[in-house]
């Protein structure tokens, strides 16, 4: 589905990605783990062409996207959705208008059809009844769920999630985890999830990639990750900093 070859990204003197090779299979959920500032979100933005790499290749469904113009990328992005860490909802629109946005942009003009699909998407993310609210009047967790509804309404082949559970309470986090899993099972969606949340990673991941200093340090199943004796991974998985009081 998505393939990354020797991807590097340097901003100024800082080398953020230093040769990433990664293959994401059709229908799987790949979780990208790593410490803050490790380049996870930067990697995610490269997968959809929102950032231009310093070198390397990104292939989506057999098409190299590096070097394509912004306009050539637009149809590809309709096949690969992205949920941003902040939600990135359009603040001039209501919840309903945000979720309906991809449908209207796809040229659907039938109001009844739009309403029906928006209702369904909001039902999936358990936000029925909040249609007329503006983004500034809903909580962070609700914003993320609206963003998710906006991404899935057009049923893309793949969804990229940037920290979908960061800053949410455990119950909402769990509901988002279940939602990601459900979308994979019911609709066969490929998912790439960037997170720090080990509980979430264990629940949703088919495979896990651990990013360290701009490289893939570990690639395997969640079970293999948990069983790893590598001190770096072991510390991350168990949340140990080795600091003393």
Partner 1 sequence: MLFFRFLGRSFLSFFSYLGSLLFLALEAGYSVIRMPVRWKLTLRQVVEVGYRTQMVVMVTGAFTGAVFGAQTFFQFHKLGMDTAVGAVVAVSMFRELGPVLTGLMVAGRVGAAMSAEIGTMKVTEQLDALRALGVHPVDYLVVPRIIAVMISMPLLVAECVGMGIVAGKVVAVDLLGVKQAYFMDYMLKFTGARDIKMALTKGACFGLLIVLIACNQGLRAREGAVGVGQATTQSVVIGSLAILISNFFLTLILNIFYPAGV
Binding site for partner 1 (CB under 8 A): 45, 48, 50, 70-71, 73-75, 77-78, 81-82, 84-86, 88-91, 101-102, 105, 147, 150
Nearer to partner 1, 89 or 216 (CB): 89
Instruction: Decide if 211 contacts 33 (C-beta within 8 A).
Output: yes
State in angstroms the smallest separation of the CB of 89 from partner 1: 8
Q: How far is the CB of 196 from partner 1 (least distance, A)?
A: 19
Shortest Å distance, C-beta 245 to partner 1: 35
Smaller CB separation from partner 1, 34 or 81:
81
- Compare residues 76 and 219 and give the one whose CB is closer to partner 1: 76
Angle 82-134-45 (CA atoms, 0-180°, nearest 5)?
15
Q: Rank residues 117 and 150 by Cβ distance to partner 1 and give the closer one.
A: 150
What residues form DSSP beta bridges with 60?
2, 63
Helices (H), ranges, the chain: 40-47, 70-77, 95-105, 111-124, 140-152, 170-187, 198-204, 222-227, 231-238
Three-state SS for 169?
A: coil
Contact 48, 109 (CB under 8 A): no
Task: Classify strands 190-194 and 158-162 as parallel, antiparallel or unpaired.
Answer: parallel
Phi then psi dihedrals of residue 145, to 5 deg: -70, -35
Cα 219 off chain centre by: 18
Minimum CB distance to partner 1 smaller for 77 or for 133: 77
Residue 224 Cβ vs partner 1, minimum distance, rounded to whole Å: 32
Rounded Cα distance between 1 and 59, Å, is: 8
Least spacing, CB of residue 91 vs partner 1, in Å: 7
Q: How far is the CB of 218 from partner 1 (least distance, A)?
A: 28
Nearer to partner 1 by C-beta: 81 or 222?
A: 81
């Amino acid at each position: 589905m998505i393939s990354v070859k020797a991807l590097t990204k340097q901003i100024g003197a800082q080398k953020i990605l230093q040769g990433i090779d990664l293959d994401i299979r059709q229908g799987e959920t790949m979780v990208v783990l790593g410490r803050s500032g490790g380049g996870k979100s930067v990697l995610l933005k490269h997968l959809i062409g929102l950032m231009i790499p310093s070198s390397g290749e990104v292939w989506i469904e057999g098409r190299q996207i590096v070097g394509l113009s912004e306009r050539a990328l637009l149809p590809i992005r309709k096949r690969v959705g992205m949920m941003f860490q902040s939600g990135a909802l359009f603040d001039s629109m209501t919840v309903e208008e945000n979720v309906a946005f991809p449908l209207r942009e796809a040229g659907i003009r039938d109001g009844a059809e739009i309403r029906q699909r928006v209702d369904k998407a909001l039902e999936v993310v358990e936000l029925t009844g909040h249609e007329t609210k503006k983004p500034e009047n809903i909580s962070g967790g609700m914003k993320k769920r609206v963003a998710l509804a906006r991404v899935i309404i057009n049923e893309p082949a793949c969804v990229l999630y940037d920290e979908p559970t960061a800053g949410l309470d455990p119950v909402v986090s769990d509901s988002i985890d279940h939602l990601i899993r459900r979308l994979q099972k019911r609709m066969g969606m490929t998912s790439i999830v960037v997170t720090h949340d080990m509980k979430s990673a264990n629940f949703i991941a088919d495979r896990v990639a651990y990013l360290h200093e701009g490289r893939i340090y570990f690639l395997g199943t969640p079970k293999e990750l948990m069983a790893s004796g590598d001190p770096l991974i072991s510390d991350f998985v168990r949340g140990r900093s080795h600091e003393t009081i």
